[in-house]
Amino acid sequence: MARQLILAITESALSLEQQLKNSRTASQKERLQMLWWLKTGQITQHKTLAERLGRDGSTVTRWLQKYRKGGLSELLVVKSAPGKLPLHLTSF
């Protein structure tokens, strides 16, 4: 049996839709799209959500945990790998 998603999304569907239209990065868009689908009731199962996003179920689970822990701001934070900064970000 497929796993049902139980998640209290505090943002309105309209608010999520506006943020989705205004988002600049692909990672933000797919995370906002996930919340919008859940909020509007278009997707109710974990497996279906992962398939629609083209992501592994563990990735979707991790995103949902981030949202539960810190809300939208936590979900939209995309950490970059440590290491040398790109040349355009370094000062001369």
Instruction: Report the number of distinct structural domains present in the chain.
Output: 1
pTM of the model as a whole: 0.80
Phi-psi map region of 79: left, alpha, beta (phi>0 left; psi -120 to 50 alpha):
beta
Whether residue 63 is contained in a domain is answered as yes
Length of the chain: 92
Residue 59 lies in a domain: yes
The whole domain housing 68 covers 26-75
Residue 1: pLDDT band (50, 70, 90) is low
Read off the pLDDT of residues 48-91 as tens digits, 9 standing for 90 and up. 999 999 999 999 999 999 999 999 999 998 777 788 776 776 66
Q: Is residue 81, in this structure, part of any structural domain at all?
A: no
Mean pLDDT of 24-52: 94
Q: Which helix (H) or strand (E) holds 51?
A: helix 46-53
Residues in CB range of 51: below 8 A, 6 or more apart: none
Residue 41 within a domain:
yes
**Percent over 70 (pLDDT), the chain:** 90
Residue type (1 letter), 49 = L
* Structure tokens, 8: 């209290």
In a domain, 10, yes or no: no
